Amino acid sequence: MPDDMIADIQSQLTELLSRALFSVAPDFGIEVRLARSRQEGHGDFTSNVALQLAKQMKIPPRQLAERVAAEIPVSSLLARVEVAGAGFINLHLEASVLHEVVHEVLTRGERYGAGVRETPNRVLVEFVSANPTGPLHVGHGRGAAYGASLADILEFAGHAVTREYYVNDAGRQMDILALSTWLRYLDLFGLSVHFPPNGYRGDYVFTMARQLREAHGDRYARVDPVSILSGVPPLPPAERGDGEAQALRESHLDALIDNCKYLLADAYRSLHDFVLAEQLGDCRNDLAEFGVHFDVWFSERSLYDLGLVERALAQLERAGHLYSQDGALWFRSTAFGDEKDRVVRRENGQPTYFASDIAYHLNKYERGFDRIVNIWGADHHGYIPRVKGAVTALGLDAHRLDIALVQFAVLYRNGQKASMSTRSGEFVTLRALRDEVGRDAARLFYVLRKSDQHLDFDLDLAKTESSDNPVYYLQYAHARIASILREWQSQYDGEPGELERVDCSCLSDPAELRLLRELMAFPAVVDEAASQYAPHVIAFYLKDLAAEFHRYYTASRILVDVTALREARVALAACVRQTLANGLRLLGVGAPEAM
């Protein structure tokens, strides 16, 4: 729930409206809900209760709203009550109530807007979870920014949050990366083998190969080059792109992997772990530089080592949700709304990725989380029914599992769509994006739209020092207020710690009251962003708050000669600065003191 004072005001207003409704319609029980008014002139809070009840009472909604409004008891909280539109009841607060917001913001400081919950929900947020087979790219960046901000918002709203990265360290892709690194490593010893077209070809693979040589010398090079290709089927011509040719390339790659494992024997695991550690280390550093941190790095391999995959499959089999066909084991996914049944164990006896995902979700539930949030790329949309179906088949509550999808971001430069890949075919890395526009701009731009909406990332705008650039606009507002406070301290011997006790009753200018209303809305905005998994709601709010302050600053002098008014305006500005800082922190964006 939102901040104490704000929640208390809303609770009192709800009680007043409930009493009025009972006077008019004692036999019609309905829960009264108040919403923050989003348009100036429509009050501070509004209710559509008359619209909800009018049909049952067979009374026109506006007429019903007028009858309810007339019954609202007199209160020191309310300046007036109005009926608007088709039957909305708008409540306007007394200015004295708005003035109390200054005390609330300055007293709570960094905790202003934070939720207070007697029993916090335990929430697991799993995000990024990219295969550790190469550097993070700009597509991963949006999921990282969204996930980190969402986790921070949920925590700020009063939940107990665990941030988790699922490490795909047990699958074929890691075998491909280990093979690719090994082949580049062999090149360094003059043991060249034709590199498979479907191996990992990035520069980082050459780097890991050199690191492998530096760390282990020729330990992995004591092999006969001929044996590397023993039994490996030949590759089809490069120009062939049909399905059969693709299958042959995959068979060629799998045979190379098998030979690598056979020739290196026990040493293969150390090769695999070396490559994994290098890529995970790079990923951790990259994310840390992006302001993204995880509490848990969960190993897919641990699901196999602890027997969790087999236990999950056995549980599904006992419940009658698996069947055998064509030598494989299948999950009856269609029984849960999926378009077709899914293989969980291949003909060769190996579990599929889906099998480990089933075990992973069983593990999440067994860890006792109240809410489980998966953040996936939008291309995983079709994966949702089978995962939720498996959760239900395991006898678990699928409603506790929420899946948020993140659309890809498209880069634009000079008004033109920028290439998402380098000349070598590699995607633009998250690190390269950060180097170009800075961490703050990258974090904010990624969350300016709903996660499941297409995002155009304007690289030129992100670097512009103008009001058109949202990150500059927000940070400039914070820095501008910091400058005002420094000047106030210097010229008037101001003490920031005294501001929370300032009498703000002289703040009567409409612009000042609008700022107070914006400040008062922040706890509800945080609550909305948390409940809807929507960090962009915070971003929109901050832009509105900054715009309101910039307009006020342009039209009004803050450091006036009249002491009482000056102190009140400085306190108001300090509240805006604190709220901006709190909101920016939730989005992973810095709040500079000077620009």
CATH number, domain of 155, equals 3.40.50.620
198 lies in a domain? Answer: yes
> Rounded CA gap, 233 and 243, in Å?
16
Separation between Cα atoms, residue 3 and residue 6, nearest integer Å: 5
Same domain, 222 and 150: no
Residues 8 and 54 grouped into a single domain: yes
Tell me how far apart the alpha carbons of residues 354 and 388 are, in angstroms, rounded to a whole number: 12
Residue 382: count of CB within 10 angstroms of its CB: 9
Q: 5: Cβ–Cβ under 8 A, 6 or more apart, which residues?
A: 100, 101, 104
Q: For the domain that residue 524 is a member of, what is the CATH number?
A: 1.10.730.10
CA 221 – CA 267 distance, rounded (Å) = 11
In angstroms, the CA 355 to CA 322 distance is: 12
Q: What is the DSSP letter of 137?
A: B
In a domain, 436, yes or no: no
Residue 9 lies in a domain: yes
* 376 and 481 housed in the same domain: no
The three-class DSSP label of residue 91 is strand
In a shared domain, residues 176 and 254: yes
Residues 227 and 189 both lie in one domain: yes
Closest to 46 measured CA to CA, from 75, 85, 7 = 85
* Helix and strand totals (H; E) in the chain: 21, 15
**What is the pLDDT, as a whole number, of residue 422?**
53
- Say if residue 396 is in the same domain as residue 502: no
Q: What is the pLDDT of residue 443?
A: 98
Find the domain containing 50 and state its range: 4-93
User: With helix as H, strand as E and coil as C, how does 480-545 read?
Assistant: HHHHHHHHHHHHHCCCHHHHHHCCCCCCCCHHHHHHHHHHHHHHHHHHHHHHCCCHHHHHHHHHHH
What pLDDT is attached to residue 1? 40
Residue 134 shares a structural domain with residue 178: no
Q: Are 391 and 401 in contact (CB under 8 A)?
A: yes
pLDDT at 99: 96
For residues 155 and 186, membership in a common domain is answered with no
Query: Rounded to two decimals, what is the model's pTM?
Result: 0.92
| 104 falls within a domain | no
Residues 154 and 245 in one domain: no
Ordered per-residue pLDDT tens for the chain, 595 residues: 445 777 888 889 999 999 999 998 887 777 888 888 878 788 899 999 999 898 888 889 999 999 999 999 999 999 999 999 999 999 999 999 999 999 999 999 999 999 988 888 999 999 999 999 999 999 999 999 999 999 999 999 999 999 999 999 988 999 999 999 999 999 999 998 889 999 998 899 999 999 999 999 999 999 988 899 999 999 999 888 899 999 999 999 999 999 999 999 999 999 999 999 999 999 999 999 999 999 999 999 999 999 999 999 999 999 999 999 999 999 999 999 999 999 999 998 999 999 999 999 999 999 999 999 999 999 999 999 999 999 999 999 999 999 999 998 999 999 998 876 654 556 789 999 999 999 999 999 999 999 999 999 999 999 999 999 999 999 999 999 999 999 999 999 999 989 999 999 999 999 999 999 999 999 999 999 999 999 999 999 999 999 999 999 999 999 999 999 999 999 999 999 999 999 999 999 999 999 9
**378 and 232 in one domain?**
no
Residue 397 falls inside a structural domain: yes
Can you say how many angstroms the Cα of residue 254 is from the centroid of all Cα atoms in its chain? Answer: 36
At CB < 8 A and 24+ separation, what contacts does 294-297 make? 294/163, 294/164, 294/165, 295/162, 295/163, 295/164, 296/162, 296/163, 296/164, 296/165, 297/164, 297/165, 297/167
- Contact between residue 5 and residue 100 where contact means Cβ atoms under 8 Å apart: yes
Look at residue 236 and tell me if it is in a domain.
Answer: yes
- Structure confidence at residue 274 (pLDDT): 97
CA of 219: how far to CAs of 222, 264, 557, in Å?
A: 6, 9, 74
Final residue of a domain: which of 406, 425, 456? 406
pLDDT at 104: 95
Sheet architecture: strand order including 296-299: 296-299, 160-167, 122-126, 371-377, 401-406
Q: What is the pLDDT of residue 3?
A: 54
Q: Which of 391, 406, 421 is the last residue of a domain?
A: 406
Q: Is residue 447 part of a domain?
A: no
Residues sharing a CB contact under 8 Å with residue 464, sequence separation 6 or more, in sequence order: 472
Listed residue (285, 527, 577) closest to 429, CA to CA: 285
Number of CB atoms found within 10 A of residue 282's CB: 18
Q: Which residues make beta-bridge pairs with 401?
A: 372
CA distance 381 to 239: 32
Residues of 22-39 as b/e, b for ≥16 C-beta within 10 angstroms?
eebbeeeeeebebebbee
Residue 374, token pair as written in the block: 């998966």
Domain-located, residue 439: no
Give the separation between CA 334 and CA 344, rounded to whole angstroms. Answer: 14
- The C-alpha atoms of residue 473 and residue 493 are separated, in whole angstroms, by 29
Q: What secondary structure letter does DSSP report for 238?
A: T
Residue 412: its H or E element: strand 409-413
For residues 198 and 56, membership in a common domain is answered with no
Torsion of CA 36, 38, 39, 44, to 10 degrees: 20
- Phi/psi zone of residue 414: left (φ > 0), alpha (ψ -120 to 50 degrees), beta? left
Count of domains forming the chain? 4
Q: Using the 3D structure, point to which of 281, 312, 346 is the last residue of a domain.
A: 281
Amino acid at 269: R
Residues 472, 573, single domain; the answer is yes
Residue 74 DSSP one-character state = P
